[in-house]
Structure 1
């Protein structure tokens, strides 16, 4: 199973984060399948790759450290594919999500920690 993690701290009001994050994931071809307010799960739309390569994104919004202007989010991006190649499909999607978070117009990226 391929699995990539990273944390982002972004400068945005907590009340606007949820809708901005959902829009970001949808722009990366993910369908939101679960949303509790502080946890979002999204899955890649089927059709482009085999079922085992479909990527799932889990986002945990850290409410305990959120301030009125900054929020930390932890991302887990994974699929059932064995990561036999460095540049596998899951890693490509991980890079796409990282880039989308870094370049999002609704917030300013404060910190990135890749795991």
Structure 2
């Protein structure tokens, strides 16, 4: 199973975060399938890749440390593909998501740590 993670912090009011995250996920061809307010799960739109390569993204929002100036989140992207190559589909989607998070105009990226 391929799995890639990163932590990031953004400057955005907490009440605008969820809708902004949904926009970023949709821009990366991911559709929301689960949302608790602190945890979002989205999956890659079918027909973009073979079924075992379809990517699932999970975002955990740290509301306990959230302030008006900063919200911290953890991103996990994974699929059932064995990561036999460094440039596999899951890695490509992870890189696309990271680029979208950095470039998103509705917040300011404060920190990003890939894991």
Report the TM-score, using the length of structure 1 for normalisation. Answer: 0.99
TM-superposed CA distance for 1:46, in Å, is 0.7
* Aligned match of 2:6: 6
TM-superposed CA distance for 1:88, in Å, is 0.1
The whole-number CA distance in structure 2 between the counterparts of 1:47 and 1:25 is: 17
1:65 aligns with 2:95: no
RMSD: 0.5
Q: Gaps spanning 5+ residues in structure 1: where? A: none
* Aligned match of 1:95: 95
Runs (4+) of structure 1 exceeding 6 A deviation are: none
> Is the Cα contact below 8 Å between 1:38 and 1:62 reproduced in 2?
yes
- The count of aligned residue pairs is 115
> Is the Cα contact below 8 Å between 1:14 and 1:69 reproduced in 2?
no
The whole-number CA distance in structure 1 between the counterparts of 2:81 and 2:44 is: 14
* Aligned match of 2:22: 22
TM-superposed CA distance for 1:44, in Å, is 0.1
TM-superposed CA distance for 1:48, in Å, is 1.7
Correspondences of 1:48-87 after superposition (within 5 Å): 48-87=48-87
The whole-number CA distance in structure 2 between the counterparts of 1:48 and 1:21 is: 21
Report the TM-score, using the length of structure 2 for normalisation. Answer: 0.99
Q: Gaps spanning 5+ residues in structure 2: where? A: none
